[in-house]
A and B are shown apart, each in its own frame.
Chain A
């Protein structure tokens, strides 16, 4: 295992605890401000102002919400399964917390620098479902149960394209490290992108990763497990107060976690465009900016796009994303095996990404949706 130097020369485990505490505290502040930021951003998309009353431009709104949530009554339904119900928020939160442990926010700025970083992230994220299932089963509510079933089905389906799209990148790191052996270490993956981020080489893989990420996060258009207009919040419908805020914390923490993860793997992390030798503050700012960009896009999509149906969601995963991601994997393998130039990688992946986008657009335009209103815009245009 690679370890960065312990802070102040402390023993390794004290150093780890200090780092964990720092990450958790910073994450909490981030979560509080990302709820505020999301509300502001969504409000702007909807031609509103968003929170304005608490502090200047409503800046303290997040803290006010947090205090309100902590002070709320913690309600447990009568026919809930007590321990399952009460432990579920923690069971969802811990895996997300664990993923934050391996993310490099700048060079060696992270809790631990694992050799198996990428593998660790998706191994631990798999456990996330357990907490959701516990919430759904323990609540004694049918909406919650339905939400949990949907969440489990969806997360299992989308984990495969997610993992395969990451493997595409890991394959390429093998060509970059020089010895032909790829790396799963997130820090190394970031450092390898000093010259160009992997999104240039693998746009298709990034598209697949981004889509699968939206699904894993239960964000629109894949927010089927929490669909407010159908099952009113899904698996956390029965939670209130602090336990509900644990779910919110999990949601936003995992959103940031995925954003940092995606920016490290695809967007060059802290290394691109300022190089591996830049100042740590610049590196931190770079990572933050990239993660923020991903988060903003997630929120943007949420405000504009309706929700898919569960069967359409499954079809999209199993019939489009899975095939494309495996195709990308095979093409990468061929190109890397014969040592063809990397421009070919970029080209094939870009063609694939173009194909994916074309598929979606053709699907929409083939149905000539724009015609109907146009016919009735003027008088007598449609009179028979």
Chain B
């Protein structure tokens, strides 16, 4: 199976739940389990929240870009912003590292994305923006019944 969609939306916190459901609904074509969809939704939430809070400093006039590609049983999700960018990606990916401790961030966003998805790649240019590419293969629909 092959499918594709892309969406952009304002960097408003209300749109985080929206983005999660958009991806969940697109991914549902792969007939995932509840756990698999929960993993995907959590990873998307973390990435979108990062774009809103860190990328755009909550400037609600900016846009977050999301692309989904399905190929066979794998969904590839790309989340991008044209925001602040990350100076040191290795440091940012460390568990518990956060540049906004004052907002009571947990610093676990990247760790969650890496744990819940099969693959996660971060690329970023300071002052230009950040792009997260995540992949997950839905294995469960290969079962015999």
State whether these chains interact. no
- List residues of B whose CB falls within 8 A of some A CB: none
